Each structure stands twice: as C-alpha cells, then as structure tokens.
Structure 1
Amino acid sequence: MPRPLARYAALTGYIELGRTLGIDSVRVLRDAGLDPAALNLQDRWIPAAAVARVLELSAAESGREDFALKLAERRRLSTLGPLSVSIREEPDARSALKSLIRYQHMYNEALRIRMSERDGLTAVKVSIELGEPAAVQQSCELAAAVVHQLLRGILGDTWKPVSVGFTHARPADDSTYRQMFAAPLVFDHDFTGIITYTTDLDKPNRLSDPLLRSYAQQFLDTLTAPEDPTTTTRVRELVELLLPTGRCSIEQVARSLGVDRRTVHRHLAKSGQTFSSVLDETRAELASRMASGSRYTFTEVAEMLSFSSPSSFSRWFHQQFGVSPREWRRQTSADGTHTEAARDAVT
C-alpha cells in the first residue's frame, strides 16, 4: 500500500524557527530528502515520513523537545488551506472538529484524529500512521497543538481543556507545554490529545457567519473528493520532488510509496503510463518553466533535472521544444509565448 503523503504546509514557519534555534534547517530538510527551495509551495505533496523525520531531527539538534510546539506558535488557521474556509464557517466547535476529521486527508494522509465521548467529557485523540517504523512524537504534538488552536479560536481565549495528554515522559523543561495549553498536563499517557467538556463542543463558533456557511461547504466540495490520490499522481509528485536530489529512480519512488517497482509499473500501466513517460512529462514541464525565467542558470537547471551535463540538457531540450533553452528564454521573456508548445510537449 502506498505510503501516506503530507503537504509542505505542515512545515510552515520551519526555516525561520530553525534559524532562531541555531540549527541548519536547509541541511536538515535535505537530509530528509526534501527540497528547501520548494518549501513555499505549500500545497505540494511530500512523504509524511519525511516531515516526521525533519521534526524529530530538528528537536534533537536544537535540544528542544518542545520543537513542534514552538513551530505551532507560528501557525494560523489559514495554514490548513481551503480546509480553513469550511472550519471557519461551521456553526459550533463540534461541527468544526468533525469537518477537520472528515477532510484531514486534504492536509496530511498520515494524520488520524478521533473523538470519543463519555461521562460529559470528550477526548480528541491524535496519532500519526506512517506505515513504517519511525519516531512521531513531534508530529503528534504538532497535531495536538493544531486541534488546541482550532478550539481556542472558535471558543475564545477563556476556553481551557480539562487536560492534555502525551505518550512520552515529562520533559526536563515543560514551560512551553504549560504556556501553550494552560491546562493540567498528563505525561506517559496512553494517547496524545486533548480532553474537554462535551458541553464546550456545543458552544457556537464565534468566527462563523451563517450566511457564508453553505457557500463555504460548496467551495470545499469543489476542491476535494474523499478519495486518495491516484498512484500516477503520487508518482508524478515524487518525480518532481526527487529530480533535484539526483535520486529520481523507479526504485526510490517505489520505496517512498512503500511498494516494490513492479507494483508501481502495474499501477501506471492501468492509466496507460510508464515510469519513463511520467519522468519525461514531468521533466519537460519543469524544464519549460525553469527556462522561461531568469532565476536559474542553464547549468543549474541541468543539475536540478538530473542531466549529466549542460550540453546533454540543451540537446534534450531542443528535441522536446524545437529551440535551444537560451532561445526559449529569450522569446519567452520577449513576448510570453510557448505556453501551448510546453503543453503539447508534455501531453
């Protein structure tokens, strides 16, 4: 079964936080197989395991067990992207949480949020399921902080949980935990999550505008269906992610998806594709985009697209588009042409 993906938005504010804590954020991202230059592409899908690894490495290198909580302090509801539109307009806290749970796959496929009610209390439990052995303490705490911030935003600053639980031992310095949650903390707990009074969840959402509720739901429904991304889509996104690292191979893509290469070939064949065709299409799309602007030199473009030399990139580009990369850039900057040519080359 393919390994779960997450959006780059999960790392919003990461570079800035790393800088303040004295760690080399760019190196950590690269060590986890991620492209630091793509961090601002918040809607791009990446392996959820890579996100978890970035958080764990950062906590270890900074010596801050509260790293994920410090990252959460830099987030806003809007970090959830289109999902924030629906949540903001739900009538009460319960509906907002259910919306978050229903559409959590839009944000992070590894995230699991569950609600259970008993004796007037509601437990909101969070977990991360990567499909492989890996440390997830930081990822779970980031998710718990997101839930807490959501409820605080809906119910107001006077709301406080009954308690907040963590599956790990109490850290030597728990001041960030106490400051963020302002509630009794239970460490070595059987789950990571928040317990609140059930009646709190029935309180109205102070952010909601009833006139916009129907529109917000319709808007969200146009952006997503409750289905997993196709294997072809995942392969294409992983190819785009891995090309700049020089490790873009069918074996590496298969490992990222948690399957063997034959399974990847079989799924691609169902949609009339091969790994080579997906690689060529993605490379052509990236090449046309990079050659159109002046941000990268052609040598850099060749390296980012895993060509052995600038000359081999130039020959390949001419075969794809009928002009050299230099001529493409000159003409594109002059009159904005080639949009159709680029589209034809990758279809």
Structure 2
Amino acid sequence: MALVRSAALQNFRHCVDELGGDAVAYARLAALPLEALDSNDLLVDDRSVAAVLEIASAKLGCPDLGLRVGGTQELGMLGSLAVAIRNSPSVADALDCISRYMFVHGRELSLSVVGDPDRVPHMVALRYSCGEGRHPMPQATDMTMLYIHRMTEFLLGDRYTPSTVDLPHRPLASRDAYAVAFGTPVRFTREHADLRVPASLLALPLANTDGAVRRSALRSLSALPMRSASSAAERVRATLDRSLGMGGTTLAQVARVLSVHPRTLQRQLAAEGETFATIIDEVRRARARHYLTTTDMPLAQVSSLLGFSHQAVLSRRARRWWGCSPTSVRRGVLKEPGLSPQE
C-alpha cells in the first residue's frame, strides 16, 4: 500500500455532484475514507484514490472524469511543495523540488526529467510515475497528467510549448476531448506517461518569485529525519515533521500513516512516557522558533505552516512557550519558562 494526500481528489466531489452522482456511495465502494472527499490533508491508500475515479466514471457513464477533475485542481494543493515550486528561480529548480519532495504528496509518486522517448534532438520528457513496477489506473493517470500540464502552464504561461502528451493507455474518451483538455496532440498506448517539451524550457526563469519564502518552504520539506525512527515517539515526530503545515496533524491521521489504531498508538506513547499532545507541541515550538528567528515571513504565513487556524493561536502559544509575543521572539527577546503544553 502507498499513501497519498487526499488532495489528489481535490474537486472530485464537485465534479461528481455536477454529473448527478453520489460521491459518498462511490467512496464507500472504493474503501476510501469519506473525510477524503472534503479534505486535502488526509493520508489515504492510493489504490482507493484510483479506484474511486474508476468506479465513478463507470457509474456515471463519464469516460473523461479524470480529465474533468484534473482540469479543476489548483497548484496550491501540494502545500509547502507548491510554495517551493512557485518561488523557484527557474523551471529546472522547480522540477528539482518536485523530484526531491514529491514523497510529501505521495510516497511512490515521481516526476522526473528524462531523455526524449522519440530521440528527437533538443527535446526531453517530463515523466510521471506512480511507482516502479506499478501499473497506473487510466482515470488517475489522466487526472494527474492534466494537473502536471496545467501546473507547468501556470508557471510559464505561453512560454510553455509541449510537443506531445503521451499516455500509457487507450483513450478513455474521444480524442477530441483529450485535445481540448491538453491543447496539444495526445498519443496513446505509449510506454510511459510523458510531457514532451523542448530542453530549453528547463532554463526558463520563473517570474515574481521570493527566495526567502522558497528557502523556508525547503527547510520545512527537509525536516524529515534521515534515520529510521525506532520508538513510537520518534515515528510520531517524523510523521509530524512531514505533515506540519499541510494538515495530517491529528492523532487519528498520524496513526493512519503509521498503520496502527489510534488507541494502540496512544498506549505505545504512554509506555514511553510520552503523549501525542506533548510531541506535537514540541514539534510546533521548534518549528516556530526556526521560522521566527531565521526568516522574515509574515506571521500569518508562520501560523499556517505550523498548522494553526488563526494567527491569534500562534500569539497565544508564543506567550506560553516563551513568555512573549512572536514579534518579540523575532526581535531577539526570548524567554523559555518551560511551561507544560496545553492542547
């Protein structure tokens, strides 16, 4: 089983509702948690994501459902990774971010730059894969490839000139539907899912970027420990390091990632003298101190990256953690009274 963020199904319910379908019924048939229909941040089995698209497509008689969903998704659904991509200095840097950190969105997902499959000089391919040796489901592939196409188009505007879109399956809808969705020739039953583009595209700069914001997003994405966590507390910390700022920070969500029941995880932590509330408070405190003392990002953005619903929550936590406001921490006035966490 591979886990992906439920953002992969962003606007699925909306598209199904417009077609007169029952998204809840399709989710149940696909063994997809119902919360995934309305949340971007739940971690779910990627097989359920693929299955619900196939089931809905069949039940609705809508062969282009994947294209419909992919055509409505927003770049921001990738969370901190989207922030890093948007603020990369060039296309090559943006793709490097995706290559290095796509695991945040889905463990087995990848987008890489490879040589042109047709061996045309000065061409490359942006290749999507859902995992080595795994066979992608057609509706999910249509959805994801259209999202990647639209993301690149968003970043580059009319400077983006794909030569072809290659898909590994037969056309699910009419070829005209694909041509309209992608705005470029689409080829089917190819070996891989590729966007073929001029190699020169990689060097193109991106406009309106902020280097400080990008560095902060990359630091957040790089927080994943390199060693394997052995204790339950270490595994919880590692999971929170990955998901903080992108949701997935409740006990139930972390337990799902670790493939244990929430009560089992609570017992494991208790046996180690730990609690979930203490751990998430410690992770947030360390991350908050980093953001406040090493970046000048707005406090509202710091609050969002910590997973708080309002900036006022950050202010209350800062006073409990350090006895002063976030602004004072940023100015170098830092106190640490060691008060116990209160979730």
Question: TM-score when scaled to structure 1?
Answer: 0.63
Q: For 2:21 and 2:113, how far apart are their aligned partners in 1?
A: 36
Q: Quick one: structure 1 residues 285 and 95, their matched pair in 2 at CA, closer, same or farther if it must change by over 3 Å? A: closer
2:114 maps to a residue whose letter is S
Which residue pairs with 2:54 in the alignment? 56
1:288-303 equivalence runs, <5 A: none
**Structure with greater Cα Rg:** 1
1:274-293 equivalence runs, <5 A: 274=264, 277=267
Q: For 1:285 and 1:27, how far apart are their aligned partners in 2?
A: 33
Q: Which runs of 4+ in 1 moved over 6 A?
A: 228-231, 236-239, 343-346
Q: For 2:151 and 2:128, how far apart are their aligned partners in 1?
A: 14
The answer to whether the Cα contact below 8 Å between 1:127 and 1:140 also exists between their aligned partners in 2 is no
Which residue pairs with 2:290 in the alignment? none
Q: Quick one: structure 1 residues 241 and 178, their matched pair in 2 at CA, closer, same or farther if it must change by over 3 Å? A: same
The answer to whether the Cα contact below 8 Å between 1:48 and 1:130 also exists between their aligned partners in 2 is no
Give a deviation string over 1:89-119, Cα, whole Å, max 9, x none: 1112222122112110111112122211352
**SS of equivalent to 2:184:** coil
Shift in Å, 1:156: 0.6
**SS of equivalent to 2:218:** helix
Give a deviation string over 1:216-257, Cα, whole Å, max 9, x none: 2223312543559968557x99983699xxxxxxxxx89x96
Which residue pairs with 2:197 in the alignment? 196
Q: What's the RMSD between the two structures over aligned residues?
A: 3.8
**SS of equivalent to 1:156:** helix
1:306-325 equivalence runs, <5 A: none
1:165-176 equivalence runs, <5 A: 165-176=166-177
Q: For 1:134 and 1:191, how far apart are their aligned partners in 2?
A: 10
Matched, 1:240 2:252: yes
Q: For 2:150 and 2:249, how far apart are their aligned partners in 1?
A: 30
Q: For 2:67 and 2:59, how far apart are their aligned partners in 1?
A: 16
Q: For 2:254 and 2:213, how far apart are their aligned partners in 1?
A: 38
1:113 maps to a residue whose letter is L
Shift in Å, 1:170: 2.7
Shift in Å, 1:136: 1.8
The answer to whether the Cα contact below 8 Å between 1:90 and 1:205 also exists between their aligned partners in 2 is yes
Q: Quick one: structure 1 residues 190 and 199, their matched pair in 2 at CA, closer, same or farther if it must change by over 3 Å? A: same
Shift in Å, 1:154: 1.6
**SS of equivalent to 2:196:** strand
Give a deviation string over 1:163-218, Cα, whole Å, max 9, x none: 00111113451233111211111111111120000112211213x32xx2133222
Give a deviation string over 1:279-300, Cα, whole Å, max 9, x none: 999xx999xxxxxxxxxxxxxx
Which residue pairs with 1:127 in the alignment? 129
Q: Quick one: structure 1 residues 141 and 278, their matched pair in 2 at CA, closer, same or farther if it must change by over 3 Å? A: farther
Q: Quick one: structure 1 residues 70 and 157, their matched pair in 2 at CA, closer, same or farther if it must change by over 3 Å? A: farther
Q: Quick one: structure 1 residues 40 and 24, their matched pair in 2 at CA, closer, same or farther if it must change by over 3 Å? A: closer
Which residue pairs with 1:20 in the alignment? 18
Shift in Å, 1:83: 1.1
Q: Quick one: structure 1 residues 16 and 91, their matched pair in 2 at CA, closer, same or farther if it must change by over 3 Å? A: same
Q: For 1:97 and 1:105, how far apart are their aligned partners in 2?
A: 14
**SS of equivalent to 1:103:** helix
Question: TM-score when scaled to structure 2?
Answer: 0.64
Shift in Å, 1:158: 5.5
The answer to whether the Cα contact below 8 Å between 1:52 and 1:138 also exists between their aligned partners in 2 is yes
**SS of equivalent to 1:113:** strand
Matched, 1:142 2:143: yes
The answer to whether the Cα contact below 8 Å between 1:117 and 1:198 also exists between their aligned partners in 2 is no
Matched, 1:218 2:220: no
1:181 maps to a residue whose letter is F
Q: For 1:172 and 1:73, how far apart are their aligned partners in 2?
A: 15
1:252-291 equivalence runs, <5 A: 274=264, 277=267
Q: For 2:2 and 2:164, how far apart are their aligned partners in 1?
A: 30
- Which gives a bigger RCO, structure 1 or 2 (Cα 8 Å, sep 6+)? 1
Provide structure 2 residue ranges, at least 5 long, that are not aligned to the other structure.
240-247, 278-339
